[in-house]
Amino acid sequence: MSSISVAMATYNGERFIREQLNSLAAQQYLPEELIIADDASSDKTVVIAQEFAKTAPFRVHIKRHRKRVGYGANFMRAATLCTADLIAFCDQDDIWSPRKLALCIEPFRDPAVLLAYHNAEVVTETGEQLGSLDYLASSPISPPLSLCPVRNIHSALGFTEVFRRCILQFSEFWEMSLNLNDLTTPMPHDQWVFFIASVFGGIAYLDQALVSYRQHGSNVYGWTPPPRNIFFEMFYSLRDPTYCLYELKQVSERCAVILEMAKDNLADMWQQRAALGAKRFRLLADLYAARERLYASGTLATRVKAFQCIISKKGYRPKSSWGLGSKALVRDFCLGVPVGNLLYSGRRSRIRSGLVSSGRPEA
């Protein structure tokens, strides 16, 4: 069986960290080590961790930062300190099921699997259940390049991920990546790992809820319930088709650049996947660029030409095939070609200034 390191990032987590640490000690399959990277906490977080380390049934290493580096960089630093075959990201405020690591290690019997993630129950700070993450599920096994990380950007939250340590060989490119919700910062740690794993290997999904994902008002990113109302779903399907096009284009282009830079130092099979991945991300960036022109242009002729460009690239094929999908075809034909520039005019100043939006990406 493979060994597992747990990479925990902490910052002023004294309220809940003791319960989380206890849940790690109660694992049926114990980790080889726990790496705690503390982001200059000013409370008793480190003291609690040091007390836990004295009696923990595994090695505990605590790395303290004098100055804050941010949650994403903190997690990345914690991961680089791990020495086991597999790495599990761990938040400071959740509670793990005793079966989490024992179940998450099973998919890695298949050497092609690079990442596994699972369902989780969402709870209040007192443990009352609010919902689950089952709406983020994917197939039990997704082969390389079958998932598009730009679209599935929130599919695997960090505390649900276990991944092979070999993914860290790409860490030198992490700071080049772009966060869809803030183009001035790199991808969050979990999105970065998901991106690399989705290109070079299989991704496994476990439908068991193996973590209690605690909501307490101080989460870096809290939980937003998915739309369950049919009328809301209909409204969402008719949302502004210009939303996030600039950001999606930029992130897709940057993913292609990273893969092109990385491929020269890879073994043959991974080199081929990097080249294919770069080609697909480049095509996706071209589709978003054409769609942006479709809505930005003030002339009908230019909008028609942009629409024809997307058609010629088979850009409206299913999303599962890295296309824009049939709903995008309907919106672009009914809205983009006739009046696209009117929809886009309200966003023009934001896009030119490089400011970015937050929320769900256009799919």
Q: Map residue 4 onto helix, strand or coil.
A: strand
Residue 224: inside a domain:
no
Residue 166: which CATH number?
3.90.550.10
111 plus 147 within the same structural domain: yes
If asked whether residues 29 and 144 sit together in one domain, one would say: yes
The whole-angstrom separation of Cα 309 and Cα 319 is: 18
Verify that 121 and 264 share a domain, yes or no. no
Model confidence, pTM: 0.89
Q: Are residues 322 and 282 in the same domain?
A: yes
Q: Same structural domain for residues 90 and 206? A: yes
Helix H segments across 147-208? 189-200
Note the pLDDT tens digit of each residue in 202-253.
999 999 999 999 986 665 555 566 655 555 454 444 556 677 889 999 999 9
Q: Is position 362 within any domain? A: no
What is the SS3 assignment for 156?
coil
**Claim to verify: residue 171 and residue 272 sit in the same structural domain:** no
Report pLDDT digits (tens) over 327-337. Answer: 999 999 999 99
41 and 74 Cβ atoms separated by less than 8 Å: no
For residues 152 and 265, state if they share a domain. no
Domain range for 84: 4-215
Q: Rounded to an integer, what distance in angstroms lies between the CA atom of residue 201 and that of residue 112?
A: 6
Chain segment 6-16, per-residue pLDDT in tens: 999 999 999 99
Residue 225 maps to a domain: no
Flag whether pLDDT at 354 surpasses 50: no
Q: What is the DSSP string of 25-45?
A: HT-SS--SEEEEEE---SSSH
pLDDT in tens, 64-100: 999 999 999 999 999 999 999 999 999 999 999 999 9
> Last residue of some domain: 155, 190, 215?
215
Residue 268 shares a structural domain with residue 345? yes
CB 295 within 8 A of CB 245: yes
Whole-number average pLDDT of the chain: 89
